[in-house]
Amino acid sequence: MTAKEQEEMDFGADSERMKKRTVEGGLLITFEGGEGVGKSTQSERLFHKLQSFGIDTVHAQEPGSSDLGNNVRRWIKRSNSSSPLAETLLFEAARAQLMFETVRPALDRGKVVVLDRYIDSTLAYQGYARGGDLKTIKQLNDIATAELTPHLTVLLDLDPKVSLARVSNKPDLFSGDTDGSGRVDNENERRFEQAPLKFHQSIRKGYLEMSKTDPRWCVIKADQAGHRIADAILKRVRRLLIDGNIPESIFKS
C-alpha cells in the first residue's frame, strides 16, 4: 500500500467532511513548547498531512515568516539587554504583521493555519520565565491579534534537561539554513537556548499551568517516537475538524 493510500484509509470519507468544515470557518492550530521539543518538525508534518488530504493549509512560524518577524528574531537572538516589556513589544509587532499579512487573510478564506508559536510563547517566555507582567502581556496579545484565540493549541511537553541536550547535540542546527526557511543562526545567536536550566523550567511550568485553564490545549508528551506524536496530533485535529464546534465568527471584533 502506498503512503497516500494509507492516508486515505486513515481518514476515508471523513476528509470530505473535514474540507467542508474548513471552507466554512477557517481554523487556527498553534504549536507551543520549549526549545528542542520538536515543534517545527511536528507542525510541518501536520501541514503536509492536511495538504495531502486536499485541505487548504498554510504554515507559518513566529517570530519569522515576515520580514519584520525575521528582523525581530535576529535582534532578539543577539541582544542581552532588553527588558521583558521591550521584548514583548517586539514579538507583538512581529505578530501583528503576521496576522495582517498571512493569518487573517488565510482564515478569512476558510483555510487551516498551522502556526509554530503564538501568543502563549510570549506568556511563557517573557511572562513566566522573564518575569513580565502576565496581565499586560495578555492585553498586548489581544491588541496584536484582535483577540484571535486558537481553536487548538498543541503543547509538546518535555523535561528541559532532555530537550536542551537534543538542541546542543544537533550539529547543524546553528550553522546553516537547515529548514529551508532562510533562518541562519550562529554560535552568538543562541540566546534563549543558552539560558540557565531554571529559565527553561519556568517556561515549561508556565505552559503546563496555562494548559489547565482552557480546553483548547492538547498536551502531548514529546519523549515518544516522532510518528506517535504525529498520530496523537492528527487524531485530535481530526476530531476538531469533524466534530468541533467551530464558531461562525472566529474574530471577536
CB nearer to ligand TYD: give 72 or 152. 72
- Sole binder of ligand TYD in the list 25, 38, 63, 150 (CB under 6 A): 63
44 binds ligand TYD (CB under 6 A): no
153 binds ligand TYD (CB under 6 A): no
Residue type at position 146: A
CB nearer to ligand TYD: give 19 or 117. 117
Using the rule CB under 6 A, give the single segment among 98-106, 121-129, 204-212, 239-247 that binds ligand TYD. 121-129
Report the alpha-carbon distance of residue 126 to residue 88 in Å, rounded: 6
Please work out the total of residues on this chain that contact ligand TYD, with binding judged by CB under 6 A: 13
CA angle at residue 205 from 238 to 78, to 5 degrees? 95
Residues 11/238, Cβ–Cβ less than 8 Å: yes
Q: How far is the CB of 75 from ligand TYD (least distance, A)?
A: 11
CB neighbourhood size of 238 (10 A): 18
| 174-203 positions binding ligand TYD, by CB under 6 A | 192
Using the rule CB under 6 A, give the single segment among 118-126, 142-150, 151-159, 233-241 that binds ligand TYD. 118-126
Q: What are phi and psi of 155, to 5 degrees?
A: -100, 115
- Sole binder of ligand TYD in the list 102, 122, 149, 211 (CB under 6 A): 122
Joined together, the cell numbers standing for residue 109 give 478564506
- Sole binder of ligand TYD in the list 104, 117, 200, 238 (CB under 6 A): 117
Joined together, the cell numbers standing for residue 111 give 483555510
3-state secondary structure of 245: coil
73 binds ligand TYD (CB under 6 A): yes
Residue type at position 41: T
Residues 62/45, Cβ–Cβ less than 8 Å: no
